[in-house]
Structure 1
Amino acid sequence: MNVGLIGAGAIANFLLKEINLSQKDTISVKSVYVRNKEKYEALESEFGVKLYTDLHAFLDSEIDIVVEAANVEAVKTLIPECIKKKDVVLISVGALVDNALLLEVEQLAEKHNHFIHLPSGAIGGLDLLQNAHALGTVTSVSITTRKPAHSLIDEPLTEEKIIFEGKAADAIIQFPKNINVSIVLSLASLGIHHTTVRMIADPHIEKNIHQVEMKGEFGDATFTIKNNPLPSNPKTSYLAAMSILGTLKRLESKIKIG
């Protein structure tokens, strides 16, 4: 599988190193779309890729699938055109809180017979959740996100503080940079108006901790994920980057699990 990357930041560099330098799989990154070619031209010699600033030339290059590893704005401006020509993997899932955009890319994917893959990012348990909701019988889904206090608020704290408690739809408005996990959870089940989000600023921790709880006719389940940061960028979850790589590997595998 030949991959085209959108973006050249920490996650994109992680994928370039793990895919192109390891050469352990049949996956290869061939093309990278960037806004500033001069800024990232070293990537061509380091990883054997070709840089593009023209989206149509990028999509017409030797790639089978597009991986967005940039930001919400890139999803909004680029992905509708990408899905017309290629399958797409999105990591900036927060863009899909825009219902008009979600509907647009769904309709384009259907029309052009392509797929949109949403990696699980910094959390887990989405396979169980989707299975449990196959009959529409999941009754409640919640996520409690606990982060180092300084990463959420400027106020000095000596004890943990709940800074938000409500529905994902409202969390999006107040904390737009911390919504990817709640959005992918919502899309997998009850939607943003029925998924409960709690955010806690904790001065005593250094990792992001996500606790996902779900209940329904299947029973109940709880997952706790403690995320280490990506070694090259402490603002990015290591698991979020790995979830893209895992998604690509599952697409290649002849045995599908989950």
Structure 2
Amino acid sequence: MIPINIGLIGKGSIGTFLLKKINEEHVIANTKITAIFDERKKSQLDLNRLAEKYSCEPFYEIDAFLQKDIDLIIECANIEVAKKYATKIVHQKDLLLISIGAMADSQFTEKLQIAAAVSEQKVYLPSGAIGGLDVIKATKLAGELEAVTLTSRKPATALTDASLVQEKVVFEGSAFEAINRFPKNANVAIALSLAGLGVDKTNVKIIADPHVTKNIHHIKAFGGFGEFEMTIKNNPSPDNPKTSYLTALSILSTLNNLENNIIVGS
């Protein structure tokens, strides 16, 4: 099995989780995060600490980072960072993009697709906090998908600063509008949209609920194929309630599939 060297952008809860699982616990054979990047001066001390703890090299300048012997770069920072660097990265390296909310911007998506086609690099979009995308993709491809609705229910503290005593619908509209209103909470909506009918035709409802402790996503779809419903209840990340723990796990699954000869699902 060929060793895989990974570059990491983002040192929050997901980035730290990946450093621990990959570099310390070695959950994926022959795979290591060898470089970590953050250009912000205020982050340099923390970046150096993580680099020393998990035996990787810190970088503060994007061009030097991209010149490192890296096979794949994982972006797990935020939409702004994704839009700033993704196209530049794909001209030189494969990219695993976590902030897929950036894909709601059609101009950004087009530029990224062109860059990947020209460079023959790959862009991986993990399923993140939901399942069932294989069903959505299959029915869309066959022209049998007519409507998709996502209802996301999250702990109130992850969505609003208000002290709620009962559930509140904080958003209802298209996936495109959802990512603009709640950029840190709507990645699930964008993943569902990319697999299915697109950001303008995917309906989204977001509920802040003071009585739940998990991120709960309910998907409904129907069309010529029949009907599909799925509910998944994710534990939020211990370090960041706006992030699902399953998102971090799905990244590991995507990485593990890169070198597998037999892949279950899609």
TM-score normalised by length of structure 2:
0.91
| Structure 2 residue 22 is the aligned partner of structure 1 residue 16 | no
Please state whether the residue corresponding to 1:177 is helix, strand or coil. Answer: coil
In structure 2, what is the Cα distance between the partners aligned to 1:100 and 1:197? Answer: 22
CA distance in 2, matches of 1:19, 1:5: 12
- CA deviation string 1:145-186 (max 9, x = no partner): 011223323444333222322221222333333211101110
Q: Partner letter of residue 29 of structure 1?
A: I
Instruction: Answer with 40-49 or 193-202: which moved more.
Output: 40-49
What is residue 249 of structure 1 aligned with on the other side? 256
Aligned counterpart for 2:8 among listed residues 5, 9, 19: 5
Distance in 1 between the 2:25 and 2:182 partners? 37
Asked if residue 211 in structure 1 is aligned to residue 218 in structure 2, the reply is yes
2:87 & 2:38 partners in 1: Cα distance? 17
Supply the AA of the counterpart residue of 2:37: Y
* 8 Å CA contact 1:83, 1:114 repeated in 2: yes
Q: Secondary structure at the match of 2:184?
A: helix
Asked if the contact 2:59/2:65 (under 8 Å) is kept, the reply is: yes
Measured on the aligned residues, the alpha-carbon RMSD in Å equals: 1.6
Q: Which residue of structure 2 lines up, in the alignment, with residue 84 of structure 1?
A: 91
Is 1:31–1:62's contact at 8 Å kept on the other side of the alignment? no
User: Residue deviations 1:67-109, cap 9 Å, x none?
Assistant: 0011111111111110001110011111111111110001100
User: Which range is displaced more, 208-217 or 160-169?
Assistant: 160-169
Contact residue 161 and residue 202 of structure 1 kept, 8 A:
yes
Once the two structures are superposed, what CA deviation does each residue of 1:182-220 show, in whole Å capped at 9, x if it has no partner?
011101110011001011122211211110111122222
Amino acid at match of 2:19: L
- The answer to whether the 8 A contact 1:83-1:112 is kept is yes
Q: TM-score, normalised by structure 1?
A: 0.94
Identity %: 43
Q: Distance in 1 between matches of 2:54 and 2:161?
A: 39
Matched, 1:55 2:62: yes
C-alpha distance in 2 between matches for 1:157 and 1:70 = 29
Compared with structure 1, are the counterparts of its residues 61 and 199 closer, same or farther at alpha carbon in structure 2 (3 Å cutoff)?
same
Correspondence for 1:95 among 78, 94, 102: 102
Q: CA separation in 2, counterparts of 1:15 and 1:98?
A: 27
Name the aligned partner's letter for residue 19 of structure 1. Answer: I
Unaligned runs of 5+ in 2: none
Give the distance between the partners of 2:81 and 2:180, measured in 1 at CA.
Answer: 19
